[in-house]
Amino acid sequence: GESVGLHLPTLSVQEGDNSIINCAYSNSASDYFIWYKQESGKGPQFIIDIRSNMDKRQGQRVTVLLNKTVKHLSLQIAATQPGDSAVYFCAETSYGNKLVFGAGTILRVKS
Amino acid sequence: ETGVTQTPRHLVMGMTNKKSLKCEQHLGHNAMYWYKQSAKKPLELMFVYNFKEQTENNSVPSRFSPECPNSSHLFLHLHTLQPEDSALYLCASSQEQGWRGGYTFGSGTRLTVV
């Protein structure tokens, strides 16, 4: 069945370093992907999205990379800050269908 | 504030109680969702409403009963819950079901069943 999974449940990085959070998906029909950030006590917040006709998209300090060949998605955070500490989820969908969320990766930023 | 408001933020209820969770959005969205979030598990979709019509019930036990009186409000009525129902219940909305802009989530209701 469809599934979206994360390789690493917890990632610890030093403040100022770059972070890379990975996600694998299994539905080859998926054509739209989103990264969400969930801080403690809050609901998931949209960070960045990418459509399958792209392989890279940049936002403010964040970059999402999509490799459709191996069905892999990653979120890169530049110059990681303490405020980036949160759980990060990837989600995928194909046209007209519901979002399928991964289990999440905890990002801990060490000062 | 994301534009999706959930109340209460925290709820403790006994297994014989009846309570309701409320979700409200004024984003002009037409689809609303209930999710259950348990520790170390992916978000579990429970119900979907699109233009006030329920379009999805993800095999949710009947002790959870949703209600969507209009596109801006969504309720989750709870009765005779079990301790394993303790979780964070998240409401989300989107322009419509299947919309490519992603979902906007509320902050959730932390439910504890004792």
User: What digits encode the pLDDT tens for the residues A4-45?
Assistant: 544 447 999 999 999 999 999 988 999 999 999 999 889 999
Q: Which of residues B7 and B2 earns the better pLDDT score?
A: B7
Average pLDDT along chain B: 94
Which residues are B35's β-sheet partners?
B45, B90
Closest residue of B to A43, CA-based? B107
Whether the bond between B8 and the residue before it is cis, its omega within 30 degrees of 0, is yes
Q: Is residue A94 very low, low, confident or very high in pLDDT (cuts 50, 70, 90)?
A: confident
Q: Is residue A84 very low, low, confident or very high in pLDDT (cuts 50, 70, 90)?
A: very high
Whole-angstrom Cα distance, residue B7 to residue B91?
Answer: 10
The three-class DSSP label of residue A81 is coil
Residue A14 touches chain B, beta carbons under 8 Å: no
- Residue A6: its pLDDT value, please? 40
- Residue B41: its pLDDT value, please? 76
Whole-angstrom Cα distance, residue A54 to residue A15?
Answer: 30
Q: Tell me the shortest Cα–Cα distance from A6 to chain B, in angstroms.
A: 10
- Residue B20: its pLDDT value, please? 98
Q: Which residues from chain B sit within 8 angstroms of residue A97, using beta carbons?
A: 98
Of A34, A41, A42, the CB nearest to B102: A34
Closest residue of A to B9, CA-based? A41
* Residue A50 burial (CB count, 10 A): 19
